[in-house]
Amino acid sequence: MSDLTALFDPDAIIKLEGIDELDRMRAVPNPFWNRARLEVTWGLPVMSGLVESPRIAVQPMRKATREELLLYHDPAYIETLELFGNTGTAFSARFGLDTDECPIFPGVDQYASYIVGATIDAMMSVADGKFEDAVSFFGGQHHATESQASGFCYYNDCVVAIKKYQEKYPGKKVLYLDTDAHHGDGTQSAFYDDPNVLTISIHELSMGFYPGTGRPEEIGIGDGKGYSVNIPLPPLTDDVEWWRAFEDLVVPIWLAYEPDFVFWEVGADAYMNDPLTDLMLTYDTYQRLSKTVRQLVHLGTRKLVMVGGGGYNSVAAAKIWTILLADIADIALPPTIPADWIRLCHKHGFQVKRGGWTSRPYRLPYDQYPKINRAVNESIRKVKELIFPTFGLDDLI
């Protein structure tokens, strides 16, 4: 088996011009579909020299085929999205299209399809032993359902890729780990009755916070009962409380499940100062998380795919994904952030306040701590009570 890390080059979608038209049509840039986000997040690993490492095999993105999309998505939905992508018109409300989060713009179907194709190739190349692991920054469209666009997501590349894997490797167990600040609702619903896909989502949950799902009581149905794990956290959860939930819940469930394959939807939006979320993680927690995930993967079958997911502070997303890529591929980062990348950020109007890879430590305000601690304790208690018996972890309740 190869010991290389596959990294999917988004050049194909960067060359598309649809999001430029979207910027011209809308008064406020879309937080996900905008050129600045694409260029800044991809520019950092390139300018840091990671893509030139012999440890990384850069791969092109390709569009998913109709047959692949049909593994999960409704044909009427696919056809409607293609029609819009060619500047057609159709009744779209029932498909969740042309909203502030999922706008229609020229080539939207191609943007969405390239992401799915790359995630499929990432998963299958690792499954087949071509690469040890694989990374696609722009994958992780975890909110899309069979016939509904939602939360910046058009096609659910996570679901399609896992179903493609199941088609070739029936009976194998997949751990879908979602550390995005938003609940992985679309992926959870796709596998809600399937014990061969364990979905674990650790996310923010508060009044009015999108998508409003992901409570501990959502544990799956039928044969899949106990295989949907939701760990909701309150706003202002910091490194210490987030990490306590991860170690107390995710680690023992992971070890008990013994997955054949790990699919990790990272999400850089749990980082403090993300404009759309209220969690307070620093870069240090992401570094620790990548090392822990890698350790757990290496205790098993050593098959890992990482996709970027959300992250709407483009500077933070670029740093987080680059840090994780270096860690997974076992490459040293340069001592400082490249000056060329800082200039690229300034060109797009982004500030870079620190020239290194770390954050300043953050301490939760004393008056907030008891409330956050109680809420995290309650989530841990509920998950243990509802989920641990499924995995024979009764003695840890």
Judge contact between 135 and 5, C-beta under 8 A: yes
DSSP 29-42: --SSS-HHHHHHHH
The residues near 146 (Cβ < 8 Å, ≥ 6 apart) are 72, 73, 74, 77, 190
Q: Is 183 a catalytic residue?
A: no
Would you say 236 and 368 are in contact if contact means Cβ atoms under 8 Å apart?
A: yes
Under 8 Å between Cβ of 204 and 279: yes
> Would you tell me how many other CB atoms lie within 10 Å of the CB of residue 98?
16
CA angle, residues 382, 304, 392, in degrees to nearest 5:
35
Provide long-range contacts, Cβ within 8 A and 24+ apart, for 78-87: 81/108, 81/109, 81/112, 81/149, 81/154, 81/155, 82/109, 84/108, 84/109, 85/18, 85/109, 85/110
Distance in angstroms (rounded) separating the CA atoms of residues 252 and 393: 8
What is the side-by-side order of every strand in the sheet holding 133-136? 56-60, 5-9, 133-136, 304-307, 261-265, 174-178, 197-204, 228-233
Coil, helix or strand at residue 146 = coil
What is 313-344 written as a DSSP string?
Answer: SHHHHHHHHHHHHHHHHT-PPPSS--HHHHHH
Q: Out of 143, 182, 183, 203, which one is annotated catalytic?
A: 143
Return the structure tokens found at 278: 């209220």
- Candidates 170, 177, 225, 231; CA nearest to 205 is 231
What residues act catalytically? Answer: 143
